[in-house]
Amino acid sequence: MYKFFNTSGPCFPDKHYMIPTSERWFQTQELIEQEKYFVLRAPKQTGKTTQVLSLVNQLNADGNYIALYINVEPAQAYRENAEKVNEVILSRFRIQSLVDLPEELRPSSACYDVASMLEGMGEFLTKWCLELPKPLVLFIDKVDTLMGDSLLSVLRQIRAGYTNRPHAFPHSVCLIGVRNIRDYRIFSDREQRYVIGGSAFNIKDESLTIQDFTQEQVVQLYEQHTQATGQPFSQAALEKVFWYSQGQPWLVNAFGKQLCFSSQKIPIEQTVEPHHVDGASEQLIARRDGHLDQLGDKLTEPRVERIIQEILLGEREEKAPKVSQDDQQYLLDLGLIRKGLHGFEIANPIYREIIPRELTSYDQETLGQNPLWYIYPNGKLNINKLLEAYIAFYKEHSEMVTARKTYTEAAHHLLFLAWLQRVVNGAGPAHRGRIHREYAAGLGRMDLMIEFAGEKFAFELKLWSKTALTKGRKQLADYLKRCGLDFGRLIIYSRKPPDDMETVGKREQCEVAGKQIADYPVLRTC
């Protein structure tokens, strides 16, 4: 049986194509030898569990330590009930030691007999370490799923036992999660105040992270499939996989799975080319499997909305509240955004495509538009008819903008995106195009490119300001130059009512830097 690209759960070298764990995570051996307590943080689906399980196996094989991995996520169900959370954690120790350790190293029944379950984990660990013939190295996963007083209880018990290591407490402890403990703001019901994670766990020595795959590692991963099956990938296809994913491990494996193991897989005797990767990206986006579906769910959180909306717009509205550093770090830790040349931007092109689709999915289905109305008999897109119909719809249904409860500042942008998505990708496989989006905080606009039946159409969307028209024309001319086009359309939005409804969407045309630009002056809410 061939190995395969894994997109669910940890990877194992005998079953899955994978990059050697030693190439992605360093420093751990030194920290363990120095009896350090440390944090491993990285976004979901980046390989944390794979890395840790490999290290646990290595440590146990080397024979200098007893290493154990436990996942405390089941305790989340008890929220702030610290006693029940400690009880569940002890149960996780019982189960995991039964599975992973020989009988002589498992905790005795006396270890589980604790005086108070409020400090049950700390007392258990002390008793167990006193029984063990070698130092214990402990890896605790999903710590950040705990909350409030239950999370504080776990952190404080580890801190309290720290001075007893390694004889009567774990030699080294690694806490694993999405965020750095230092960045936690934990509300304690008992104390009726926020406690900063760094103060509850001030014994942390390092905060390690796992980087995304490099382009060379993507090539290395896919070469494993070529060596196993003989199926080649062109260099351009591999570059495109990296471009779409930016090395995000789940996405890299998802592309491999889609291209080589799905029902739409490329025949094994055929070379995988860039157009195959383009098709796989559309299939991944349309299906929104596991990881991508979780991504969409995060968009509903207010602190996520504040930043994503600013990125969509490319700028901040004058009255918009300032985004806190904690919120910025939260999105960075989720792997949802990254720091780009102009400011924060969406982490990779796949996420960049999914976000507007997710935010407009309902609108797309309620517009009452048949995409075939806007397609010529020869299969080309009637872009002028599409825009004229959109402007008429916009004037008649402005409540779709004013009634929006989330992403209100970006409501105009999102309605237009929903319209384009409905037409460009809604008429079935025979009439399917692509929409390319460029947007980032600080960019000052959103750039769009429609590819349909061999033709390209460029748009720029901006918020209204006194300089929006002048700046927008210049920015669009630059975008057209980069795209190798001579004509583009500039659309400027304002949330203020128009002085004259007849002027809404009235087209004007000019030339800037040798490029023809059609302005659609201020589409405004009625």
- 169-208 pLDDT per residue, tens: 999 999 998 877 766 666 666 776 766 665 666 766 678 8
Please write down the HEC assignment for all residues of 114-125.
CCCHHHHHHHHH
Provide mean pLDDT across the span 139-168.
92
The reported pLDDT for the residue numbered 325 is: 84
Nearest to 309 by CA among 348, 347, 344, 361: 344
The backbone torsions φ and ψ at residue 286, rounded to the nearest 5 degrees and listed phi first, read: -65, -40
Residue 157 pLDDT grade (very low, low, confident, very high; cuts 50, 70, 90): very high
Single-letter amino acid, residue 147 = M
Name the β-bridge partners of 457: 450
The reported pLDDT for the residue numbered 503 is: 61
The reported pLDDT for the residue numbered 451 is: 93
pLDDT at 242 over 90: yes
pLDDT at 522 over 60: no
Looking at every residue in the chain, the average pLDDT score rounds to 88
Within 85-168, strands assigned E span 136-141
Tokens of 210: 């796992």
CB 68 within 8 A of CB 92: no
- 468-517 pLDDT per residue, tens: 889 999 999 999 999 999 999 999 887 766 666 666 666 778 899 999 99
Domain residue ranges of the chain, discontinuous segments joined by +: 21-209, 215-287, 359-524
User: Yes or no: is domain 215-287 CATH 1.10.8.60?
Assistant: yes
CA Rg, the chain, in Å? Answer: 27
CB atoms under 10 Å from CB of 328, counted, come to 17
Tokens of 389: 């119909």
Kindly report the CATH class assigned to 21-209. Answer: alpha beta
Tokens of 116: 């108070």
- 345-371 pLDDT per residue, tens: 999 999 999 999 888 887 887 888 899
Dist CA 282 CA 243 (whole Å): 14
- 384-407 pLDDT per residue, tens: 999 989 888 887 777 777 777 888
Dist CA 235 CA 217 (whole Å): 13
The reported pLDDT for the residue numbered 525 is: 37
The reported pLDDT for the residue numbered 187 is: 64
**Better-predicted residue by pLDDT, 276 or 41:** 276
Dist CA 176 CA 179 (whole Å): 9
